[in-house]
Amino acid sequence: MACQSCNCSTEGDTKQGKDGAGLEAIRVVLAGQPNVGKSMLVNAMSGSGRMKVGNFSGVTVEKTEICFEHHCHQFEMVDLPGTYSINGFSKEEKVAHDYLMHESYDVIINVLDATHMQRNLLLTLELLKLNKKMVLALNMADEAAKEGIEIDVNQIEAVIGVPVILVSASTGEGVDALLDRVHEVADSRRRQHSRILYSDPVEEEIDRVAHFFDERGYSYRDLSSRELAMRTLMGDPVIYAALHDHPIMIELQPLIAASLEHIYTHHESKNMDEIKANEYTAVARGIRLETVHCKREKRRGKSLTKRIDDILINKYFGIPIFLFFMWALFQLTFTLGALPMDWIDAGFTAFGDAVGSMISHEGLRSLIVDGIIAGVGAVVLFLPNIIILYIGIALLETTGYMSRVAFLLDGFFHKFGLHGKSFIPLVTGFGCTVPAYMATRTLKSEKDRLITLFILGFMSCGARLPIYVLFAGAFFGPDQAGNVIFAIYIAGALLGLVMAKVLRVVVFKGEDEPFVMEMPKYRLPSFKLIWHTVYQQASGYLKKAGTFILVASMLIWFASTYPKVDAPSELGVNQAKLYELEHSYLGQIGHATEPFFAPLGFDWRMAVALEAGLAAKEVVVSTLGVLYAIGDEVDAESSSLITQLKANVSFASAIAFIVFVMIYLPCLAASMVFAREAGGYKYLLYLFLFTTATAWIFAFAAYHLLN
Amino acid sequence: MKLSELKKGDSAKIIAIDATEDLKRRLRSFGVIKGSELSVETYSLAKKTIEIMVDDTLIGLRAIEAEKVEVEKITEGKN
Ligand SMILES: Nc1nc2c(ncn2[C@@H]2O[C@H](COP(=O)(O)OP(=O)(O)OP(=O)(O)O)[C@@H](O)[C@H]2O)c(=O)[nH]1
Ligand SMILES: [Mg+2]
């Protein structure tokens, strides 16, 4: 029988296989603590690479669905953000909580890190209380084996009462078996009872209350009397609502009061959350002691992670090392990226010439050569730089270094009213601002989140890199350009910090948020993982160049070529060209807005490029490419954009331009995401005013200081 | 003594946590509760943040939060 691939919508409103009867998709949700490999496991199970994987807590920030088939069964899988406990409080942990509590699904796959069983089991114990069908996936089997950890899977299964599978998302071990078990569990009627035992006083009281329920013949739904007793003791509001009007309540009340007193005395606390935590921790520890064995004698020496930490988060060298890495990255971005640039440039120029010589119609030739090829070429030119930048960011994300830097910088960030965790969205922002805005969801305090959202634009995204590379290359020697780019990024980041402080003092006053953050194990990222991330980003960049930038270049070309005006006859050829350009639509727009930009030393072309850059930052370069390509003959013989810029733009204006680009509003797509994440378009207006004013003032200062 | 007073390399047992319910809950979900054992791995500059190890997990905390954890030293670090 042929399988049909399912095509469920991403909204997940219906869950019907295409064949109708018998092929209904199994709806599975992955839950687990952060950084245990849920997303990677989904990738392994579905054979795709869609889920983003990274070695720090909070990679996944919203639920993501994927559909696939396995042995002719349809699976609909939902990958949730990791959550340390079911009542997690940051925005992305709430997503997990809400989904688990309120959505409908068939099976939970609770993913655990086999090398951190005890802590991971705390969440498992909470999930068991949901009374849903569940399968435990003990992930990272490969790491556990390497560390000499042996796990008695059958014993865990016997204690917890749900199927347990040892898997490794990275080697693929156990993944098939896991899917088969999920399918079995989905078909089964209900799950086995668990054999989890609490401390003696609690067990005694559970027995007492359960016995009471049995005697009175009271039952609630399909709960066993033990389960019912447990929930009553823990103060489950649902049970209380059901019991409230029942006559046994009169007898039950004093019984519960006495039982609780006993438990309170034992735990020296009357806080039920704390008592639960104590009990769960004891149970988790018990299960670990019983089922996890470390073959190797616990090495007296330090683990690799600790030894690396001794260097990387060294009190004195930690921050200098981090700065060095960043410097090296930008240095490489420029120098290594410059190598293939000449070839790409030469390729596009030759291509333009070849195409140009084949087209006889002058207007069409100009559109294709000066419009499309010049515009798209100007963007593609920077692909090598972008790739190197993304490799750097991917390394930061996948090795485990990211959380360390957050740890190092928290003290410093805290002074500026930011949270150490803000570092994660800020670094993501060096790549692209859109996912960075989303990554702010890991910040628990709404104020921290808003401040981070507001300053994120100051972290120059990858699309601004071409502008910097272009200007740094044009106005500084090749040996200086790398440093200049590094300085630009650092300046942006520092400005962001200062602005955070301003916002904290003026607008978002408030309580500090605690900093408690897991430091993951260092992991050597697989080539596949890095390749996948970088490939996706690079192909996205090229796709954008081939679609969006192409259309934008055409528009810019049209707007700069029409309306055709006749230049006064006394002008020479060069001046006539310039005259026509200045009287085009684009020239008119440029001239109309020139007064706003004139104090910053920008000519109308730069003004237009900046305005076009509101759509996407790549367009700044492509617009400059088109504008200077049309005015090509103005300058005697040269053709490259760099030489054009040098001839037409003063040093002070160039610096002011860089400063303006560094600060002003991110692209349209990012702006929309900002409005959504911040909670309204009103915030986008604030952001626009805030960034434009800051950009203008700083560019003005830069221009006048240097002039 | 307080967790923040431990030296690098020391290990200790938690006796009490005197913090807001919010912070306690966060700590709890990492297994940092009364009775757990921890060791201090490292401090950042000026003792702003501190890295501890609980149940084989490395956790970074601020010193201000570490002050709220009362501990009893078990062993002294070598350095
Ligand atoms: N050695 C090994 N590493 C793994 C395995 N599964 C995941 N990892 C690594 O663990 C880290 C976390 O993986 P993710 O899939 O991003 O974890 P997650 O649970 O989705 O994390 P959040 O989205 O932050 O909750 C990554 O560095 C992975 O490369 C595994 O089976 N073996
Ligand atoms: Mg994930």
Q: Residue B44: give its domain's CATH number.
A: 2.30.30.90
A636 vs A364, higher pLDDT: A364
Q: Assess B17–A contact: CB distance below 8 Å, yes or no.
A: no
**Gap between the Cα atoms of B69 and B63, Å rounded:** 10
Distance of CA B59 to the CA centre of its chain: 9
Whole-number mean pLDDT of chain A? 85
Q: In terms of residue numbers, what domain contains B42?
A: 3-75
Counting every residue written for chain B, the total comes to 79
The three-class DSSP label of residue A296 is coil
* Residues of chain B positioned with their CB less than 8 A from the CB of A421: none
* pLDDT bracket for residue B79 (50, 70, 90): low
The CA-based angle A420-A426-A428, given to 5 degrees, is 125
- Whether the bond between A563 and the residue before it is cis, its omega within 30 degrees of 0, is yes
Specify the range with the lowest mean pLDDT, choosing from A80-84, A271-275, A324-328.
A271-275
User: How far is the alpha carbon of A678 from chain B, nearest alpha carbon, in Å?
Assistant: 24
Amino acid at A307: R
Q: Assess A319–B contact: CB distance below 8 Å, yes or no.
A: yes
Q: Which residues contact A535 (CB under 8 A, 6 or more apart)?
A: none
The answer on pLDDT for A634 being more than 80 is: no
* pLDDT bracket for residue A705 (50, 70, 90): very high
Taking every pair of Cα atoms in chain A, the longest distance, rounded to a whole number of angstroms, is: 111
Pairing mode of beta strands A516-519, B57-62: antiparallel
Summarised one tens digit per residue, pLDDT across range A281-339 is 889 989 998 898 887 655 545 678 888 888 888 888 988 999 999 889 888 887 888 78
Task: Count other C-beta atoms under 10 Å from residue A338's C-beta.
Answer: 16
Q: Tokens standing for A276?
A: 């639960």
A167 vs A372, higher pLDDT: A167
Amino acid at A431: G
The pLDDT score that the predictor gives to residue A514 is 84
Question: What average pLDDT does range A184-192 have in this prediction?
Answer: 79
Q: Rounded to the nearest whole angstrom, what is the distance from the C-alpha of residue A53 to the centroid of ligand 2?
A: 6
Work out how many domains chain B is built from and give that number: 1
The CA-based angle B46-A492-A333, given to 5 degrees, is 100
The dihedral sign for the CA sequence A11, A16, A19, A22: positive
Distance of CA A264 to the CA centre of its chain: 43
Counting every residue written for chain A, the total comes to 707
Pairing mode of beta strands A164-166, A133-139: parallel
Task: Count other C-beta atoms under 10 Å from residue A586's C-beta.
Answer: 27
Pick from A116, A118, A122: which is nearest to B29 by CB? A122
The pLDDT score that the predictor gives to residue A19 is 43
Residue A126 and residue A234 in contact, taking contact as beta carbons nearer than 8 Å: no
Summarised one tens digit per residue, pLDDT across range A223-254 is 788 888 888 888 888 888 888 888 888 888 88
Q: Which DSSP category does A372 fall into?
A: I
Summarised one tens digit per residue, pLDDT across range A120-159 is 999 999 998 888 899 999 999 999 998 888 999 999 998 8
The answer on pLDDT for A45 being more than 60 is: yes
CB-based contacts of A51-56 (< 8 A; 24+ apart in sequence) = A51/A79, A52/A533, A53/A398, A53/A529, A54/A397, A54/A398, A54/A402, A55/A397, A55/A398, A55/A399, A55/A400, A55/A402, A55/A520, A55/A521, A55/A522, A55/A523, A55/A525, A56/A397, A56/A400, A56/A402, A56/A403, A56/A424, A56/A520
Residue A255 and residue A229 in contact, taking contact as beta carbons nearer than 8 Å: no
The CA-based angle A182-A183-A187, given to 5 degrees, is 115
Q: How many CB pairs under 8 A join A and B?
A: 116
* Position in ligand 1 atom list of the atom nearest CA A139: 31
Pairing mode of beta strands A292-294, A516-519: unpaired
Q: Which residues contact A345 (CB under 8 A, 6 or more apart)?
A: A377, A381, A640
**Segment (H or E) for A31:** strand A26-32
Question: Measuring CA to CA, which residue among B60, B36, B30 is closest to residue B47?
Answer: B60
* Residues of chain B positioned with their CB less than 8 A from the CB of A420: 49, 60
* Residues of chain B positioned with their CB less than 8 A from the CB of A277: 28, 33
Pairing mode of beta strands B57-62, B49-54: antiparallel
Pick from B22, B46, B56: which is nearest to A116 by CB? B56
Amino acid at A213: F
Q: Which DSSP category does A300 fall into?
A: S
Amino acid at A495: L
Question: What average pLDDT does range A198-217 have in this prediction?
Answer: 89
Task: Count other C-beta atoms under 10 Å from residue A705's C-beta.
Answer: 10
Question: What average pLDDT does range A505-509 have in this prediction?
Answer: 83
Domain parsing of chain A, residue ranges: 14-187, 200-312
Q: Tokens standing for A599?
A: 């104090």
The pLDDT score that the predictor gives to residue A297 is 59
The pLDDT score that the predictor gives to residue A703 is 94
**Gap between the Cα atoms of A139 and A38, Å rounded:** 9
The pLDDT > 70 percentage for chain A reads: 93
The pLDDT score that the predictor gives to residue A334 is 78
Q: Assess A517–B contact: CB distance below 8 Å, yes or no.
A: yes
The pLDDT score that the predictor gives to residue A560 is 81
Q: Tokens standing for A592?
A: 């109309």
The answer on pLDDT for A375 being more than 90 is: no
Question: What average pLDDT does range B26-39 have in this prediction?
Answer: 86
Summarised one tens digit per residue, pLDDT across range A429-477 is 888 888 889 888 888 888 888 999 999 989 988 888 889 988 988 898 8
* pLDDT bracket for residue A618 (50, 70, 90): confident
Closest ligand to residue A442's CA: 1
Taking every pair of Cα atoms in chain B, the longest distance, rounded to a whole number of angstroms, is: 35
**Gap between the Cα atoms of A558 and A575, Å rounded:** 20
In this structure, what are the phi and psi dihedrals at residue B59, rounded to the nearest 5 degrees? -130, 135
Among A30, A59, A120, A531, residue to substitute to test ligand 1 (most atoms within 8 Å of Cβ): A59
The pLDDT score that the predictor gives to residue A636 is 36
Q: Which DSSP category does B2 fall into?
A: B
**A605: burial class by Cβ within 10 Å (0-12, 13-18, 19+)?**
buried
In the Cβ-directed half-sphere of A107, how many Cα atoms lie within 13 Å? 29
Distance of CA A28 to the CA centre of its chain: 23
Question: What average pLDDT does range B16-42 have in this prediction?
Answer: 86
A167 vs A341, higher pLDDT: A167
A225 vs A698, higher pLDDT: A698
The ipTM value here is: 0.92
The three-class DSSP label of residue A208 is helix
Question: Measuring CA to CA, which residue among A170, A241, A187 is closest to residue A529?
Answer: A170
Question: What average pLDDT does range A670-679 have in this prediction?
Answer: 88
The answer on pLDDT for A572 being more than 80 is: no
**Gap between the Cα atoms of A318 and A335, Å rounded:** 26
Question: What average pLDDT does range A104-110 have in this prediction?
Answer: 93
**Gap between the Cα atoms of A399 and A625, Å rounded:** 38
**Gap between the Cα atoms of A543 and A546, Å rounded:** 5
* Position in ligand 1 atom list of the atom nearest CA A61: 23
Question: What average pLDDT does range A622-632 have in this prediction?
Answer: 73
Structure pTM?
0.84
In this structure, what are the phi and psi dihedrals at residue A135, rounded to the nearest 5 degrees? -130, 140
The residue to which tokens 């839950």 are assigned? A31
Which residues between 35 and 74 in chain B have a beta carbon less than 8 angstroms from any beta carbon of chain A? 35-36, 41-46, 48-49, 51, 55-62, 65
The pLDDT > 90 percentage for chain A reads: 26
The three-class DSSP label of residue B69 is strand
Binary contact (B60, A410; C-beta < 8 A): yes
**Residue A38 beta carbon below 6 angstroms from any ligand 1 atom:** yes
* pLDDT bracket for residue A23 (50, 70, 90): low
* pLDDT bracket for residue A110 (50, 70, 90): very high
**Topology (CATH level 3) of domain A14-187:** Rossmann fold (3.40.50)
